[in-house]
A and B are shown apart, each in its own frame.
Chain A
Amino acid sequence: MSIDDGTEIITTVDESTPLDPRLADPAWGQGPLGRPRSRVLVPLVLLNAVAAVWYIGWLLEPSRVGNPWLYGILIAAESFNLIQAAGFWWTVHRQKLRESVPWIGPMPSVDVLVPTYNEPVGIVEPVLAAIARLHGGPATMWLLDDGDRVEMSTLAAKYGANYLAREGNEGAKAGNINHALPYCDGEFVLILDCDHVPHPDFLTETLGHFGDEKIAFVQTPQHYANAETNPIAAASWSQQALFFGAIARGKDRSGAMFCCGTNVVFRRTALDDVGGFPTNSVTEDFQLSIKMHERGWRSAYVAQVLAQGLGPEDMASYTSQQLRWARGCLTAVPAVLSSRLPWRLRAQYLFSAMYFLTGWTVLAYMIFPIVRILSGEQPLAAATADKFLIHFAPYFALALLTVAVAGGGRYTFAAYTQAAATFWIHVAASIKTALRLPGRFVVTPKEGAGSWQPRAVWPSLVMIVVLSACAVYGLIRVRDAAMVNNVAFAALHVVVLSAGVSTALSWRKRR
């Protein structure tokens, strides 16, 4: 890895590195998230707008219509992407980087809740150990064990934490937290997933922001400490870095930062005001934020890595996590639309929720070359590639550049391919949501990475086979420039999908 001034950062792990990456040093602070770059982003966003008008305007000319069905799909896909992109540009063009605010007066009481279900002791123990070392006043530690396990009870006792278990596990994580709230009496509640190790300064860096009486919660980033050692966690972190960097800072500026479920401090009165965590969703945090914002509470975002967790270590974990997020966010769309939120907030929630429809556009783009190769039909007519390129290339290049600049270079090719290769998750989640098929809360696995998991990526594998077969068939049939161009598109998708699924097809045992 390297930073802008050319300094090489050595990322090799030597023998003195602790075994648990969450305890390693370098990821704390703002470093992993980059800095707001409004001076560059504002002109870039303006250029993007011009390029978008230039491209879409050209695309909408009546003479562009080739096969009307395909054209319709293309316009729908491009429109969706443009809306998403516009939302992104709007969000990131101005960002809020909160200064550290000290807590005035004696430190308030804080309850630290650590919900757990089936995670092993080795995962949870460093979290409790770190909570015990938190600076900034009395923090009461609660280990909320939905697994009702003796070893967790022992662990809690070891670190002086209160241990709570309940009958059944209704409402999953949200139900678990709600169950604990009546036992707690602190002014603030810190929620930490049981794999997120907090920095000693967690409370001193966040509590100060509650000086504003209307602040309901202060969210901090969710960093994956295993990103250095695991490629799937690395790609996931890279996606997270874009969100917890530019996007979250931008949302904070719009007052629209939502709760992400962990590494977040709540004002107890705000939680009580909305009746605790909603239990009717798999993304309780998203719904909770909507409710709080609806009731006039505000949110804050501290763009500092103050806790280190573990990202998904294998493809099965990643797809299960993404599926849960997609289901949860898409389920929340009606709630957003029917909410009494100001339009700005509503738009921000919609942009975030509808991101999980992006997979449809990926699917559409993959289908175009297949249809063209097999039937000769294509969405656009009467356009030379030269004309298409002169309109499309600036739009695409600027959009990509904006992502790179906004993400401070942290959004990687691997992050893109991993997201693109799980396009089918968005498709499946939206179908299930539309048909109201039942979903269930699956805990993101924290340990035990499997490296040979073709089943976790089978839809992408099928797509790779179909695209490759079409490409070969097309080249056998005709080899003119138009065919070569479509085969190149097919090849582009094959490479992207293959790169995305490659981590699920490794014979070597990871870690």
Chain B
Amino acid sequence: MATLTTADLPPATPSGPSTKRLFGEQIGVTAGQLAAGLGNFAFSLLGVHLLRPAGFAQLATFLALYLLLHLPMTSLAAGAALDPYRTVRLRTVMAVAGSVGALALIALSGPVADLLGLTRALVIVLAFALPEAGLTALARGRLYGIGRRKWAIVTLVAEPVVRLILGGWLIVTVGSVGAAIAVVAAGYAALVIAVLAGRTPASWSPGADAAPPPSRSRRIDTSLTVGVFLLLAIMQTQDLVMANRLLEPLEAARFAAVSTIGATAVFASAQIPLVLLPRAKRGQRSATLVATAVAAALGAGAVLVVAVIPTAVIRTVLGPEYVGIRPLLVGYLAAMALLGAGRVVAAAGCATKRAAGVLITVAVATVVQAVVILTGPATAASVAHATLAATGVLTVGTLAVVTPQWTALRSRWSRRSRARALLQPIPLLVIGATVVGLVIRSIATRSIWLDEAISITEVKMSFGDMLHQLAIADVHPPLYFMLLWGVVHGTGSTAELVVRAPSIVIGTAMIPLMYTIGKDIFDRRAGAIAAVLTAIAPIAVWYSQEARMYSMFMLFALLAAWAQVRVLRTGSKKAWFAFTVVAALWMYTQYFAFIPLLVQFLAFFALAVRRGKVNGWKLVGTAVLAGVGVAILLLPLLPYLHTQLSAYASNGAGLTSVPGQAGQGASKSANGIGVYGLLANVIWAVWGYHADATMVAITALWPMLILGALAILGRGRTREESVLGATALLPMLMLFLIGFRKSNLFELRYFIGSVPLLILLMSRGITRLGRTALAPVIATCVLVSTMGVGLLDEQINSSNPRVYDFRGALREMESKARPGDQLIYAPDYLTDEVAYYAPNVEASMLSTNDIPVLKANQHVFVLGSFLDEKNTSAQVGSALSALRRNGTQVDEITRPNVKIWEFTK
């Protein structure tokens, strides 16, 4: 952990306002903003009632353009709030630029009107809004900057008031153009109020507006802040613009509806960052917390409202064709909530000299949003998810940028020369590794695997049904499924990327976490190497792309190991508490966590022996207490576990009939489990899954293990290394021994917690390799390059026995199938897979149904997989010969490990 010194913190202001007052300010401004929103809504209703439909359509378009014009100007407001003295100079610039723009628009009003589908008069009115937009934003931002928030509220409320009063008259007399004039006039009214309210009072020291002259760095910060808010405005609107261009009209309209509702939520929190900026600039950190809290509360409130809103309301308000957007609303509102919170955090970062980092983060988020929209499927859901992903990146990224530890690190850097900083790029390396890790994990190309399909089927149920189903028909604890349930129901989607998102996020989070933990347990170099290795570790990537609990398993294994080291080092209550909670969460994720946890508790006892009587007994006592704590936390799981065990006892075979994981062949010798199996699992743990032939060649390299064993001779070991080593290796060995009795239990997934620990230990080993830097560098390069090659082979090589392309096969089949066609499949456990990829095809199991008799013009498809299983191949074989007798085979779809035969009469 970077040490935080007082010098690294923003100057404290002991006389800063109370939290109550800060809340008051934010709530006041937000209320003003909401009032303005309501006023504008009332104005729209007025238009609906007083104008003809064509006229209202013109007004609506005008309003959208007016909004689009003003939205980027919030960036100027932010700049002005941060640096109110600069507004005086900028005012002239903006007035001139706005006037020139207005003149240009008036000159081009003809073609622009044709382009936009507006009347020329409306375009000319819009042109008049140009100078006002920038000036109002500047003036209002200045009001925030100099602490005249009440006047800012007045300007917010004045606008709809003037619109309504003036508009009521002008709509009746002039029509839509009159309404537009009222809108622009209201803007100017707000501008006048803002300018007057922002004038320097006579009592101020002369030349206050001119002084103090902003420093160069402050000017740069202000410019960067403007950039940040400009990008935020783009983020807020680009999904709608892109959806309009990319989607089919109906989908585009659906997204527009979602976006409009979402915009309401984000509109409500729009002024919060402006209030915050001047306070945060003065180092009032509580202001940031209050602003974030208000923004988060507004966002959460909006999500909640949408979550509970009955479908009937949507049908009534938007029309029956929009009922389909309901599942999207929660996700999109969550995105808007994140945007609102991210905007506040971004403002805090800008005000505390972290504008560059914030700008980069916002830019990345904006690009992510655009790229995902452009590359994703052309559906409203996909666009909404892109925005959710981008706002997630925004919030997490800005939080990371403004976190004090990073600032401390940065300020430590800034004391050194730039060259020195570049020579010590560990944090950059970790950030880079995280980004690379995220990108790699996001490119999840493989088809949904059987277990994932089961996960999806289960989480699609209601919460209670899911828990019941898990208890009676599954063998896993519920934590991961609860998370996935939240994601699926929150987004309303079961798209591949959505169901895999929790694993991707957790897997990516593990990268910086490895750095933090590696640094804490060992040193910075070990942490950095661990982060880099984790980013590309094939198994970490593989399970970060799987909608199962193994990514979470790794995370908790890592956290539990960290907590244990902290316990052994400090013995603090906090560390014990963390260990207990993580241990319980780990057990709620996967029952196999029991084995490494057992090792960890045994390690406490073993270390107690070496601590002497007094300290040893103390350690034992506390460990027992922690064990009791874990047991208490696990109590709610007991009835659930009991049901699972009863179900397992009564129909165990049914539960275990699904293959644990494909491609275990390389780990089995002729007579069951063997040393080669152990080796194969170790190789998988580090270098990933590969084709059987490759695995045979790699395992033949086992003499290198002798070298490895010799190489650790005399390296000594610290307590931390011993504990991590035991927690990583003993579960593996225990399962290996158990594997002789029950071979399907010796499977990498069940000790996958060893993977991050092994990576940590390897990183530590590398840093201790030699007296010079050469050996560690060479070792890192060798490991990174071999793991990189392993990753590529695992992800791309279709002869990887764990790749089952159900998607490719079933989608191709579905594209051919017509109503009345039939799909029969074996083995039985493909049901969820078929339901996921071919929901519209009539499908049945081969084992429980007769082979259909082909009718004229009917096609029957036979799906076969796991054909190395005798029963399955027999079932498929007899079905094929029956169909061949009865009809003709017309096609065959062959994908990795999946085959479909097509028959017709």
Q: Which chain A residues have a beta carbon within 8 Å of chain B's beta carbons?
A: 1-6, 8, 231, 238, 384-386, 389-390, 393, 396-397, 400, 403-404, 407, 409-417, 479, 481-482, 484-485, 488-489, 491-492, 495-496
Contact = CB atoms under 8 A, between A and B. Distances in A.
Contact of B700 (A1, A404, A411, A482): A482
Most chain B CB within 10 A, of A1, A414, A482, A492, is at A492
B669 interface: yes
Contacts of A416: 710, 713
Nearest to A404: B713
Contacts of B696: 481
Interface in B629-680: 669-670, 674-676, 679
Contacts of B699: 385, 481
Interface string B712-744: 111111111000000000000000000000000
A495 B709 CA distance: 13
Most chain B CB within 10 A, of A389, A397, A414, is at A389
B610 to A, nearest CB: 7
Contact of B702 (A6, A404, A488): A488
7 contacts: A386-B674, A386-B676, A390-B674, A400-B713, A409-B715, A413-B714, A492-B704
A310 to B, nearest CB: 20
Contact of A491 (B703, B716, B771): B703
A489 B710 CA distance: 14
Nearest to A417: B710
A496 B669 contact: no
Contact of B712 (A384, A396, A413, A485): A413
Given A6-B718, A404-B714, A481-B700, A492 B706 contact: yes
A396 B720 CA distance: 26
Given A238-B714, A386-B676, A495-B707, A4 B719 contact: yes
B697 interface: yes
Contact of B707 (A8, A238, A410, A496): A496
B45 interface: no
B732 to A, nearest CB: 14
B701 interface: yes
B570 to A, nearest CB: 13
Interface in B563-621: 610
Nearest to A485: B700
The 3 A-B residue pairs with the shortest CB-CB distance, nearest first, are A412-B714, A6-B719, A389-B675
A42 B880 CA distance: 65
B676 A385 contact: yes
A488 B704 contact: yes
Given A397-B709, A481-B696, A496-B707, A407 B702 contact: no
A3 B701 contact: no
Contact of A496 (B710, B719, B771): B710
Contacts of A492: 703-704, 706-707
Nearest to B723: A6
Contacts of B720: 6
Contacts, number: 94
Contacts of A495: 707
Contacts of A481: 696-697, 699-700
B12 interface: no
A266 B676 CA distance: 56
B711 interface: yes
Nearest to A482: B700
A377 to B, nearest CB: 18
A491 B650 CA distance: 54
Interface of B: 610, 669-670, 674-676, 679, 696-697, 699-704, 706-707, 709-720, 771
Given A385-B702, A410-B714, 14 more contacts: A4-B610, A4-B717, A238-B714, A384-B670, A385-B676, A390-B674, A400-B713, A404-B713, A412-B714, A413-B710, A413-B714, A415-B714, A485-B702, A488-B702
A484 B717 contact: no
Contact of A485 (B703, B713, B716, B718): B703
B702 A396 contact: no
A84 B117 CA distance: 96
B740 to A, nearest CB: 11
B714 A484 contact: no
A385 to B, nearest CB: 7
Contacts of A393: 675
B700 A2 contact: no
Nearest to A8: B718
Nearest to B707: A492
Nearest to A411: B714
A481 B704 CA distance: 14
Contacts of B704: 488, 491-492
Contacts of A404: 713-714
A479 B693 CA distance: 11
B696 to A, nearest CB: 5
Contact of A396 (B669, B676, B701, B706): B706
Nearest to A415: B714
A384 B669 contact: yes
A112 B285 CA distance: 76
A496 B714 CA distance: 15
Contacts of B771: 231
A189 to B, nearest CB: 36
B713 A386 contact: no
B713 A390 contact: no
Nearest to B704: A488
A300 B869 CA distance: 70
A362 to B, nearest CB: 13
Contact of A411 (B610, B706, B713): B713
A96 to B, nearest CB: 24
Contacts of A8: 718
Contacts of A397: 709
Most chain A CB within 10 A, of B670, B702, B704, B709, is at B702
A159 to B, nearest CB: 37
A231 B772 CA distance: 12
B769 to A, nearest CB: 10
A393 B717 CA distance: 22
B676 A412 contact: no
A407 B714 contact: yes
Given A385-B700, A488-B701, A409 B710 contact: no
A312 B704 CA distance: 30
Contacts of A384: 669-670
A1 B676 contact: no
B707 A409 contact: no
Given A4-B719, A492-B704, A400 B669 contact: no
Contact of A409 (B669, B701, B706, B714): B714
Nearest to A400: B709
Contacts of B702: 385, 389, 485, 488
Contacts of A491: 703-704
Contacts of B711: 413
B610 A5 contact: yes
Contacts of A5: 610, 719
A496 B715 CA distance: 16
A410 B712 CA distance: 11
B703 A390 contact: no
Contacts of A231: 771
A397 B715 CA distance: 16
Contacts of B709: 396-397, 400
A485 B698 CA distance: 9
A20 B714 CA distance: 26
A390 B740 CA distance: 13
Nearest to A403: B713
Contacts of A496: 707, 710
A397 B712 CA distance: 12
A385 B700 CA distance: 8
Given A384-B669, A485-B703, A2 B716 contact: yes
B789 to A, nearest CB: 16
Given A5-B610, A484-B697, A412 B713 contact: yes
A33 B715 CA distance: 15
Nearest to B771: A231
